[in-house]
């Protein structure tokens, strides 16, 4: 069971040195040294370098990126053209380069080779101009630079910490307003029978609600005195995910919730909590059944058409797998696909159906191995340290578990224009920061 960290702001004061100055006994010095080196079970957080302190400019950039990323995918009538969106990410990247001390910069080999694989896949293939592969690679590169563990430094860790917490609150606010919008007649709430609330489509509302539900559980565990309030919020977010009709989001949510419960509680208590949760869900099934009506309808329609619950994805998986088998080493090109649709006369879109297969289809084994190394290394390290990590680590890994499931049926992994692409790589980067740090990060 993870031990809650010390009070926020602890900097690992060298108590042993203080007691040595004051003439403390050897036992006092030894205990103080232990407390200085180990707080809550692992090493204390070292003080930040002065060049890495957080400024008002940093706060502005983080909130600007977060707000623009979410707002451009809402129905609130606030237009954010794609050039403006990428321009703001470019500003964020430029700001970070100016603020980041180069001497402490480290490069993740797997992420760097993944970028190289993407470049080589474009060079090695004749990609139609309407895919704009180089522009899309540039946009994805900026997102990777600011969110993933491609580069690592004290400042970048601070940036990813604040950006991830900003998105946590933005998603929660958006899901909350989406549920409230159901009571406001003039706001669009549903696409057919699927809830999208203030978001542009149900397939965004569902994942956003699922992530918010896991976050609300994390907050309930973090703030025991307001536990029932946060548990109520988790239930509401779960209802929103089900009303959206996104089966991938609901499946990922179940996986994330079970993961969070199992790894933040003693094992025997975790199994008891999971059993109680299943019992409550079964006892209140009549209530949930109404919320899940769209899920049942979509599943039933797929079974009637092709005797498969994956009817809407199977053909897309086949196309991407064929692309991979025809170009196994470097794929058929970054942002490219033989199955596409036109967004405009000179711009095409792709719906791969699975992010994991699309990695292979577009960048081949070269890129697939790199992505696998980046993700599975996190799982290996987490399982090795699971008895001694803080609560935020469990929460971020639970969100990563959600994405592992959700990316089986959605293919946004290389599409930087999608907020889910941003959230996935930010989760990957934040998990890497937490697991590679020799100390606990303070909880919010």
pLDDT tens for each residue of 62-76: 999 999 999 999 988
Measure the CA–CA gap between 386 and 229, rounded to whole angstroms: 28
Which residues, at least 6 apart from 434, have a Cβ–Cβ distance to it below 8 Å?
Answer: 389, 390, 392, 393, 396, 441
Per-residue confidence at 299, pLDDT binned at 50, 70, 90?
low
Do residues 310 and 206 both lie within one domain?
A: yes
Residue 356 belongs to some domain of the structure: yes
41 and 57 together in one domain? no
In a domain, 413, yes or no: yes
Q: Are 16 and 89 part of one and the same domain? A: no
**pLDDT digits over 218-240, tens only?**
999 898 788 889 989 998 999 88
Same domain, 234 and 381: yes
Per-residue pLDDT for 356 more than 70? yes
Contact 209, 237 (CB under 8 A): yes
The predicted-structure confidence for 377-409, as pLDDT tens digits, reads as follows: 999 999 998 888 899 999 999 999 999 999 999
- 200 pLDDT more than 80: yes
Examine the domain organization and report whether 216 and 319 are in the same domain.
yes
Residue 183 shares a structural domain with residue 219: yes
The verdict on 32 and 164 lying in the same domain is no
If one compares 14 and 195, the residue with the highest pLDDT of the two is 195
Residue 36 has a pLDDT of 33
223, part of any domain = yes
Are 136 and 6 in a shared domain? Answer: no
At 76 the pLDDT is 84
Residue-wise pLDDT tens digits, 151-170:
998 899 999 999 999 999 99
What's the CA gap between 194 and 242, in Å, rounded? 9
The number of folded domains in the chain is 2
Shared domain for 35 and 61, answered yes or no, is no
The answer as to whether 444 is a domain residue is no
Asked if the structure places residue 39 within a domain, the reply is yes
Q: Is residue 442 part of a domain?
A: no
Q: Give φ, ψ of 191 to 5 degrees.
A: -110, 100
Residue 158: which of 45, 38, 68 has the closest Cα?
Answer: 45
Mean pLDDT of the chain: 81
Task: Report if residue 156 sits inside a domain.
Answer: yes
Tell me, yes or no, whether 147 and 267 share the same domain.
yes
Residue 441 in any domain: the answer is: no
**Domain check: are 277 and 324 in the same one?**
yes
Residue 81 has pLDDT above 50, yes or no: yes
Residues 211 and 251 in one domain: yes
Cβ 142 vs Cβ 416: under 8 Å: yes
The residue segments making up the domain with residue 127 are 50-436
Contacts of 409 (CB under 8 A, 6+ apart): 247, 248, 310, 313, 353, 354
The string of DSSP letters for 138-190 reads HHHHHHHHHHSSSEE-HHHHHHHHHHHHHHHHHHHHHHHHHHHGGG-TTS--E
């Amino acid at each position: 069971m993870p031990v809650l960290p010390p009070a926020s702001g602890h900097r690992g004061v060298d108590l042993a040195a203080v007691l040595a100055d004051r003439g403390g006994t050897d036992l006092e010095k030894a205990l103080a040294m232990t407390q200085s080196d180990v707080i809550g079970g692992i090493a204390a957080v070292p003080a930040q370098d002065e060049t890495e302190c957080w400024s008002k400019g940093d706060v502005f950039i983080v909130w600007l990126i977060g707000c623009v990323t979410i707002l451009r995918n809402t129905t609130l009538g606030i237009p954010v053209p794609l050039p403006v969106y990428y321009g703001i990410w470019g500003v964020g990247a430029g700001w970070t380069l100016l603020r980041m001390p180069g001497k402490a910069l480290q490069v993740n080999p797997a992420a760097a080779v993944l970028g190289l694989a993407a470049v080589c896949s474009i060079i090695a293939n004749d990609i139609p101009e309407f895919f704009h592969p180089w522009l899309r690679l540039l946009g994805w590169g900026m997102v990777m630079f600011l969110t993933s563990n491609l580069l690592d430094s004290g400042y970048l860790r601070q940036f990813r910490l604040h950006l991830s917490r900003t998105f946590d609150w933005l998603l929660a606010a958006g899901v909350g307003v989406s549920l409230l919008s159901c009571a406001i007649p003039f706001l669009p709430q549903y696409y057919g029978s699927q809830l999208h609330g203030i978001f542009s489509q149900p397939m965004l509302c569902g994942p956003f609600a699922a992530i918010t539900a896991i976050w609300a559980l994390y907050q309930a565990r973090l703030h025991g005195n307001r536990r029932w309030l946060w548990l109520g919020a988790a239930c509401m977010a779960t209802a929103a995910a089900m009303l959206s009709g996104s089966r991938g989001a609901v499946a990922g949510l179940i996986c994330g919730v079970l993961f969070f419960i199992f790894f933040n509680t003693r094992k025997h208590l975790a199994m008891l909590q999971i059993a109680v949760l299943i019992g409550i869900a079964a006892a209140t099934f009549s209530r949930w059944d109404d919320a899940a009506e769209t899920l049942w309808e979509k599943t039933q329609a797929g079974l009637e058409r092709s005797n498969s619950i994956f009817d809407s994805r199977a053909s897309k998986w086949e196309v991407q797998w064929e692309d991979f088998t025809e170009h196994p080493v470097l794929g058929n090109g970054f942002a490219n696909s033989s199955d596409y649709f036109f967004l405009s006369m000179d711009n095409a879109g792709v719906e791969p159906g699975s992010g994991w297969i699309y990695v292979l289809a577009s960048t081949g084994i070269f890129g697939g191995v790199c992505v696998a190394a980046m993700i599975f290394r996190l799982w290996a390290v987490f399982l090795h340290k699971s008895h001694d990590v803080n609560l935020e680590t469990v929460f971020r890994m639970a969100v990563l578990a959600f994405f592992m499931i959700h990316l089986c049926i959605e293919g946004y992994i290389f599409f930087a224009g999608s907020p889910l692409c941003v959230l996935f790589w930010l989760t990957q980067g934040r998990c890497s920061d937490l697991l590679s740090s020799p100390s606990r990060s303070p909880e919010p």
